[in-house]
Structure 1
Amino acid sequence: MKKAEIKLTIELDDNNVPENILWESTDSQTKEQMAVKSMMLALWDHQYKNSLRIDLWTKDMPVDEMKRFFYETLQTMGDSFLRATGETNIVEDLRDYCAHFAEKMEINVGK
């Protein structure tokens, strides 16, 4: 069986606020850590039937990029949900909401 490992390194300031978020994967073409400004990790706990989440962002994450990050996360959650369930109708509704979200947050989705 093939195994892959994903490693996250979070560098915190004196108040435990993330200053840097670094990640690397054993499956990656590059063997160096990649810096990111924000991350969301969601896991499903089968035993307790609930989600476990870690949402982190660096203190210098720009608000406009955070809005875009949420928009793109919602979009890709729709993609994942469609692949996992085949529920096209509700995914179309989610896409409609994403368009509404982008408009309200003034996100230019063309770029």
Structure 2
Amino acid sequence: MKQAEIKLNVTLDEQNIPERIDWSSTDGETSEEMPSKAMFLALWDAQYKNSLRIDLWTKDMPYDEMKRFFYETLQTLGDTFLRASGGDPMADKVIGDLRDYCAHFAEKMEVLEDEK
């Protein structure tokens, strides 16, 4: 059986606000620590049937990047759900609704303005 390890290293300031978030994986192209400015980690607790989350961002994460991070995360959650649904037709419809919301979010938050 193959195993991989994902490591997160969070450096906090005196007020416990993240200054740095570095991560590495034994299953990636390199095992070197890579910097990041934000992360969302969600795990499923099967015993209690709920999600466990860690949401962190560094104090130098620009607001415009945070808006884009939320937009990208919502989009990829839709992709992940479609893969997990195994072709459920209702999933396609619901993800279409999510895509519509993502477009609305992007427009209201002016997320994609730089790409025009």
Q: TM class, shorter-chain normalised?
A: over 0.9
Aligned partner of 1:91 in structure 2 is: 95
Shift of the 52–20 alpha-carbon distance from structure 1 to 2, 3 Å rule, reads: same
The runs of 5 or more residues in structure 2 that have no matched partner are none
Taking only the aligned residue pairs, the percentage that are identical comes to: 69
TM-score normalised by the chain length of structure 2: 0.92
* Gap regions ≥5 residues in structure 1: none
The one-letter code matched in structure 1 to 2:58 is T
- What SS does the corresponding residue of 2:54 show, helix, strand or coil? strand
Task: Indicate whether 1:15 and 2:19 are aligned.
Answer: no
Q: TM-score, normalised by structure 1?
A: 0.97
Equivalent residue number for residue 43 of structure 2? 43
Aligned residues, how many?
111
Partner Cα distance (2:46, 2:113) in 1 = 35
Q: How does 1:1-111 map to 2 (within 5 A)?
A: 1-85=1-85, 86=87, 87-108=91-112, 111=115
Read off the aligned partner of 2:7 and give its amino acid letter: K
Off by >4 Å, runs of 4+ in structure 1: none
CA distance in 2 between counterparts of 1:71 and 1:90 reads 17
